[in-house]
Amino acid sequence: MLNIGCHLSASKGYLHMGKEATDIGANTFAFFTRNPRGGSAKAIDTDDVKAFLEYAKEHSFAMLVAHAPYTLNACSNKEETREFALNTMKDDLARMEYTPHQYYNFHPGSHVGQGEETGIELITKQLNTVLTKDMTTTVLLETMAGKGSEIGRSFEELKAIIDGVELDEKLGVCLDTCHVYDAGYDIVNDLDGVLDEFDRVIGLERLKAMHMNDSKNPFESHKDRHEKIGEGSIGLDTMIKIINHPKLQGLPIILETPNELDGYAHEIAVLRNAYNG
Ligand code: FE
Ligand code: FE
Ligand code: ZN
């Protein structure tokens, strides 16, 4: 089963996203838990959530991959920004419990000159504050391109965060194809080698979801500019290898390519067509 979808707008609610996903051939999706630039979240409509949960069950949806706002930076050098990150994540995780047992993905953060060690320490500290034993959501650390002072450019950095978290059973990793290629993991020429390294450093059982994006820039450029599937430096062949790789079966795959709904529908159709399962 190929579990694939894309980013959808949450402005019309959960059921609307579910139906939109079905319309474009998706059986999972991502959405921003609030405006991607931050700010306050819309109140949860419990009737809408209930209708969506039924709809998702009927249509055999895979797990959803919610996305935290981009502005969330747990390892900022400003106390105020760190506090915003903490409170936003706390509130997001409370909201996620309306749709239990899904994924919540976030960018670990940028250390803005404080150094990786301090960055990792601050992220770990935030996770140790917001994760609770009773939560059903799994929080995913996204692999990053290494733009500026981004933490998460290497598997080792993600592993260091996981190692510092007490309730590490609540943590997983979301692998973004554009980001890892930008960061210097050659998924085009050595996909098996990259997955072996992920397994050796983090453990493949932590890999819970993927962001599938082509890249506007060449290998190791640390730029983070997504391209349509097959139109960038990674190429369609590698994407087809990824969806058919025996070690990656069942993971929800989210497209974050520069597309409107019809473009996403096209990419989903191309990938479903190339799927051998
Ligand atoms: Fe992301
Ligand atoms: Fe991503
Ligand atoms: Zn990106």
Q: Active-site residue 224, yes or no?
A: yes
Q: Which of 78, 93, 30, 97 is nearest to 256 (CA)?
A: 30
pLDDT score at 38: 75
User: How close is the Cα of 225 to the center of ligand 3, in Å?
Assistant: 6
Active-site pick, 7, 20, 34, 67: 67
Q: Active-site residue 92, yes or no?
A: no
Active-site pick, 92, 142, 157, 214: 142
- The 10 Å Cβ neighbour count of residue 112 is 16
Ligand nearest to the CA of 106: 1
Q: Which of 211, 209, 208 is nearest to 255 (CA)?
A: 211
| Residue-level pLDDT, tens digit, the chain, 277 residues | 999 999 999 999 999 999 999 999 999 999 999 888 877 888 899 999 999 999 999 999 999 999 999 999 999 999 999 999 999 999 999 999 999 999 999 999 999 999 999 999 999 999 999 999 999 999 999 999 999 999 999 999 999 999 999 999 999 999 999 999 999 999 999 999 999 999 999 999 999 999 999 999 999 999 999 999 999 999 999 999 999 999 999 999 999 999 999 999 999 999 999 999 8
pLDDT score at 125: 98
Q: Which of 187, 171, 199, 200 is nearest to 239 (CA)?
A: 187
pLDDT score at 37: 82
Looking at the DSSP bridge assignments, the partners of residue 156 are none
Active-site pick, 34, 82, 111, 179: 179
Distances (CA, A) of 142 to 51, 54, 74, 134, 260: 30, 29, 14, 23, 23
Could you say which DSSP state residue 200 is in? H
Active-site pick, 47, 59, 70, 245: 70
Q: What's phi and psi for 150, nearest 5 deg?
A: -60, 135
Q: Active-site residue 211, yes or no?
A: yes
Q: Are 41 and 33 in contact (CB under 8 A)?
A: yes
Q: What sign results for the dihedral spanned by CA atoms 223, 224, 225, 227?
A: positive
d(CA 192, CA 209): 17
User: How close is the Cα of 36 to the center of ligand 3, in Å?
Assistant: 13
Ligand nearest to the CA of 66: 1
Q: Are 252 and 65 in contact (CB under 8 A)?
A: yes
Ligand nearest to the CA of 68: 1
pLDDT score at 42: 85
Q: Are 21 and 29 in contact (CB under 8 A)?
A: yes
User: How close is the Cα of 46 to the center of ligand 3, in Å?
Assistant: 31
Q: Active-site residue 98, yes or no?
A: no
196 Rama sector, left if φ>0, alpha if ψ -120 to 50, beta otherwise: alpha
User: How close is the Cα of 32 to the center of ligand 1, in Å?
Assistant: 10
Q: Label residues 141-159 b or e (16+ Cβ within 10 Å = b).
A: bbbbbbbebbbbbbbebbb
